[in-house]
Amino acid sequence: MRADARDNRARIMTAADDVFGRSPGASTDDVARLAGVGIATVFRHFATKTELLEAVLTLRLERIRDRALELAGSDDPGTAFFEFFTQVVSESASKLAIAEALTAAGAAAGEEAREAGRGMREAFSGLLTAAQKAGAVRADAEMPEVYALLIGASRGATAAKLDPETRDRMLALIYDGLKPRG
């Protein structure tokens, strides 16, 4: 692959991440314009708009998964779990599309993105069970509902455009529900 082609591909990905992050309904032309390339170039690298969206989504999911895996090495599983949770939520609040990305991952996404979503959930599940073994999270909370909480908190924070203080107060309420009964 020629050097300029690789450059352009990277620029398109970055632009798409930015544009679709701001408004999911944006057009392919918008992406091309921001990337500073012609529209044909976008379609040469990504055969369809869906393919482009999937590539961006996959990248985001993998980034989140990597952070989870990184935190999994921590020697304080409780802190690791809550820190990850908080980080995902606050990132989604600033970057409007992350919540939608999470949804799309579970729902009708292509194989690549679905795989990335699976990896992310697995990493999160690992954090959860470790935190439970350490006694930081109640043992009767299971993955499906805890994951639902994560998505819900993310989407809620984004949709309601919460300021950081309110967001933290909301998270504090959620965490109190997740901690073992005193």
Partner DNA sequence: GTATAAACGGAGTGATGACTTCGAATATAT
Partner DNA sequence: ATATATTCGAAGTCATCACTCCGTTTATAC
Of these partners, DNA, a copy of itself, none, which one is at the site of residue 161 (CB under 5 to 8 Å by kind)? Answer: a copy of itself
Look at residue 89 and give its three-state secondary structure.
helix
Of these partners, DNA, a copy of itself, none, which one is at the site of residue 34 (CB under 5 to 8 Å by kind)? Answer: none
- Structure tokens belonging to residue 131: 């935190």
CB 52 within 8 A of CB 42: yes
Q: Given the complex with a copy of itself, which of 15 and 162 has the nearer CB atom?
A: 162
d(CA 107, CA 135): 32
Distance of closest approach, residue 92 Cβ to DNA, in angstroms = 23
| Other CB atoms within 10 Å distance of the CB of residue 31 | 26
CB 90 within 8 A of CB 167: yes
Q: Given the complex with DNA, which of 47 and 108 has the nearer CB atom?
A: 47
Distance of closest approach, residue 105 Cβ to DNA, in angstroms = 8
Residues at the interface with a copy of itself (CB under 8 A): 25, 99, 102-104, 106-107, 141-142, 144-157, 159-162, 166-167, 169-170, 172-178, 181-182
